[in-house]
Amino acid sequence: MAHIILPHTIANDRLEEARGFRRRIGANLGASASRGPFLPTLAAFATDVAGTLLTVDAEPTEGVEWLRRSARASALFFGRVVFPDRVVPMEITVDVMVGAVNPPPPWQEATARAWVDAMWCTLAIADGTAHAWLTNIPESALLQIGVQTAKLDEYFFPLAETLRAVATRSGHHGKELIRTLEAMPNAARASSRLERIDEPAVRTLFALLEGDQPGYTESLVALLESHRAYAEALASAGPRTLLSLPACALERLARSRGIVSGVVSAYAPELVFTA
């Protein structure tokens, strides 16, 4: 029996903002991606556009392409922060190739949390280019930036390494999952993001990697329902919250292991994780 998770609603002004971004930036993507300080914003707004196209405007194919742009903008951002002297061109789309960025990107925003979000997006759409760039960012660089900026939500570091292990199939995902769970603070200290997004995603991943199909399905339902509660509680939820990229990534991984959850949700459109 299918589990159906209905989405929340987004204010019309936020949807129109995303549609406007699609028109303005879509026509000038190369120049936008060449501005280092704009790359994190480009990645975030591209996900807003994708959420609007995939769940409201019924243009899923283009929506997936905007997710790809988001993943690659994030990967380019991390690459230019961590390896500023390596000006390897990044193909944002088949028509847009970005080399040097000017001015340089804000290194303070290259946090482990941002890397985790970028990797969930990358895994969701299985983008090989973003995958190669992001997995090349060493844990030491994320730790150094975390120390310098005092942005030390400690569980994000082992969570990043868990996703890296899954992405590269290194075989280290088990120990990294344990590190992640151990680093998560107790309920009294947990942030809303941890409680509603990260911990449910980790527990779903754990069930999946254990090959526990009923446990995976149950955890995925909990993740999607928790995502909806998190999004509904945000004061100004953007269209990006119409997508659960962790759920999309987990569903793609599940399909690769022969597991079909039977869960139906606009938060995890099938076209995303089967594209």
**What value does the mean pLDDT take over residues 4-22?**
92
Rounded Cα gap, residues 208 and 249, in angstroms: 12
Domains of the chain, residue spans: 8-274
Tell me what pLDDT residue 188 has.
Answer: 62
- Can you give the pLDDT at residue 27? 85
Question: Hey, which residues does 96 pair with through a beta bridge?
Answer: 93
Question: What DSSP string describes 164-223?
Answer: HHHHHT-S-HHHHHHHHHHHSPPTTT--HHIIIIIHHHHHHHHHHHTT-HHHHHHHHHHH
Q: What is the pLDDT of residue 133?
A: 98
**Looking at residue 201, what is its pLDDT?**
98
Q: Is 256 exposed, middle or buried (0-12, 13-18, 19+ CB in 10 A)?
A: exposed
- State the average pLDDT over residues 112-132: 98
Per-residue pLDDT at 275: 79
For residues 41-61, give the mean pLDDT.
Answer: 96
2 confidence band (pLDDT: 50, 70, 90):
low
Residue from 169, 151, 166, 181 nearest 119 by CA? 166
Residue 264 has pLDDT above 90, yes or no: yes
With a cut of 70, say whether residue 1 has pLDDT above it: no
Q: Percentages helix, strand, coil for the chain, rounded to the nearest 5?
A: 65, 5, 30
Task: Label residue 80 by pLDDT band (50, 70, 90).
Answer: very high
Q: What is the mean pLDDT of residues 224-236?
A: 91
H or E stretch including 264? strand 263-265
Say if residue 197's pLDDT is above 80.
yes
State residue 261's pLDDT score: 93
Q: How much of the chain exceeds pLDDT 90, in percent?
A: 83
Q: Is the pLDDT of residue 103 over 90?
A: yes
Q: What is the mean pLDDT of residues 153-171?
A: 93
Q: Tell me the pTM.
A: 0.95
Helix/strand/coil (H/E/C) assignment for every residue in 212-250: CHHHHHHHHHHHHHHHHHHHHHCCCCCHHHHCCHHHHHH
Neighbouring CB atoms inside 10 A of 60's CB total 17
